[in-house]
Amino acid sequence: MAEATPTRVFVYGTLKRGFPNHPLLVACASPFVGAASTAAPASLVIGPYSVPFLLPTSSSSSSSGRVVSGELYAPSPAALAELDAFEGTHIGVYERRPITVVADGSGEVVEAEAYFAHPSYAEALWRRCGGEAAEIGEYTADHANRKGIAMAASPQQQGQGSQGGSGGGGWSPEQFWSLLDKADRRFARVRDLPLLGRQEPDAFAKAFRAYTQLWRMQQEHRHRLLEAGLRRWQVGEIAARIAHLYYAQYQRTADTALLSEAFVFYHAVLDRAYFLDADHHLTPAKHLRFLARFLLVALLLARRAHTVPRLAADIRALLDDSKKSFQEAEYKEWKHVVQEILRFLRADSPFMNMRPLRYSYAFDLPPDKLPTVPPTVKKRGLVLSDAILCSYYPNEVKFTDLSIDVFRMLQCLEWEPCGSFALNNGYSAHDESGQNQPNLLKDLRDAALPPNPLKTNLNRPSVTHFLTVLATKCEELPSNGIMLIYLSAAGEMGTSGCCPDTGEKIVSNFSKFDISSTSHTSSKEDKEPCLWLGCRETEGSNCIYPGDLIPFTRRPLFLVIDSSISYAFKAVYSWH
């Protein structure tokens, strides 16, 4: 019986050699067949975040198209499944379709498959990109670098420059070791910076610049560095720290493009087995921390099909294999982390094959079709700029300091990295004059997208800490900013119950409140509804009352109360 011909896949974007996502092809052992071009003209456009989309013929029927250049690969069935998951075919981002290509050089005609934009949004995407005028014939490095930040050279470029780099004049391995020492000091400084309060603006840039130089140096001078004692685990540690810096900056800026870059570097470290020869240089605890950080990034990017289960299994296996290396207390701590991961994944499994929680152009209305805000609000120019996400339950499902409630809410406050478009404040869907119609090509630049709000995650905080953070964030809130507060906690109904005038009673009590009086601390008759942020043995100090938020209504607030007594917090609106 003849063997089935392996599927050929034509890639035209970030999976090509020299581009950020090529390590995924390398990791799943997909042999490179050769360079190729489409046999017939096709429509290739650049979407948001510089992501390329090949469009089905029916979506751009009025376009003559262009011959599109790319590369041909021969993935195995397992590798093809990995690629399908990466391209989001199960949630309707891309669709794998047949395509005819011509091999460069030989001119051989090859029947292959390629990932096209899903038909549900392809035509609208083509129009919003600018139609035929926006079509290109080749996705280049210039397109990939239009992300608004300086990117480190991607892991897949490793070794490309090392072949002739050993003869670089004036360079010595001592420069690498000196820079590595400096980079480690800068990394420690960035790692210890608090997420709240004033930051050192240049600290991240200096650390990132140092590690970028190290990464390029080991690419260009790999052979000489190996001779000088460089080990693979050290290369992996550099890549892991670049990923950590990307994630740390994502926490401070909420830019999901940084989260995607962190994933690329973490993925390269794991799939290239950089830590395989670490021996005693990499303790099991340090290796587990690396896997746990990667797992958190993969969860935030919804890589649930393959990456998340693999990482969870690797953490569990490494802990079992390294049990003798841990002190009993440390082993119990990591065992508890493994149990947290399993609980978290079980709780999140119903969402595994659902559409993204982030706003996605593939599933949601285009921004210019969404209901507009009232003119009075629009005139003030208010934007959602900050969010405090707080949860407190005795036995809540969480991983590290991220509860399942906050995990979902966090994604709801972000754009989908590969499927979102810019809002244009001057454009109205009902304006037929065309005078205010946005420049489509300009609006698709990432810098024009409304920025994700900055998010502060507070897991199981004390009431004092919560109010301190809230006061700090309100102080730093821009003049046109809106603060979103998400509180998920168990509630106490109080003696007032769920009566219609509960809000009025709370506001009335607040206006008559005397700070010098002690009667309110022990009055059971006038007990108000509250949220518990702590044990119930000490009532007042562990409760958030609606009146606690009233002083902060001097700034625009958006409250989301995820609790059985959320009705009581309508009093804040009544006061405001």
Which fold would CATH assign to domain 367-428+439-575? Rossmann fold (3.40.50)
pLDDT at 102 over 90: yes
Q: How confident is the model at residue 441 (pLDDT cuts 50, 70, 90)?
A: very low
Q: What is the pLDDT of residue 416?
A: 67
The Cα 417–Cα 20 span in angstroms is 15
What average pLDDT does range 483-501 have in this prediction? 73
Q: Which of 71, 82, 87, 220 is catalytic?
A: 87
Q: Sheet containing 383-392: give its strands across.
A: 454-459, 383-392, 481-489, 557-562
pLDDT at 247 over 70: yes
DSSP label of 364: S
Q: Is 179 exposed, middle or buried (0-12, 13-18, 19+ CB in 10 A)?
A: middle
* pLDDT tens per residue, range 19-37: 878 877 877 778 999 999 9
Is 108 designated active site? no
The two beta strands, 398-399 and 402-403, are antiparallel
Share of the chain above pLDDT 70, in %: 75
Q: Integer distance in angstroms from the first to the last C-alpha of the chain? A: 78
- Give the global pTM: 0.66
Instruction: Give CATH for domain 9-144.
Output: 3.10.490.10
Domains in the chain: boundaries: 9-144, 155-161+171-351, 367-428+439-575
Q: What is the pLDDT of residue 362?
A: 63
Token pair recorded at residue 247? 């994630």
pLDDT at 234 over 50: yes
What average pLDDT does range 129-142 have in this prediction? 85
The neighbour count for residue 432, using CB atoms within 10 Å, is 8
Q: What is the pLDDT of residue 331?
A: 92
pLDDT at 429 over 50: no
In degrees and rounded to multiples of 5, residue 234 shows phi and psi of -70, -40
- Whether the domain at 9-144 and the domain at 367-428+439-575 fall into the same CATH topology: no
* pLDDT tens per residue, range 105-129: 889 999 999 999 988 788 878 887 7
Output 396-400 pairs: Cβ under 8 A, ≥24 positions apart.
Answer: 397/343, 397/344, 397/347, 398/340, 398/344, 398/459, 399/295, 399/296, 399/299, 399/340, 399/341, 399/344, 400/292, 400/296, 400/337, 400/340
CB of 389 within 8 A of CB of 335? Answer: no
Q: What is the pLDDT of residue 442?
A: 34
3-state helix vs strand vs coil in the chain, percent to 5: 45, 15, 40
What average pLDDT does range 311-321 have in this prediction? 93
Q: How confident is the model at residue 219 (pLDDT cuts 50, 70, 90)?
A: confident
* pLDDT tens per residue, range 533-560: 877 666 667 888 888 898 898 899 999 9
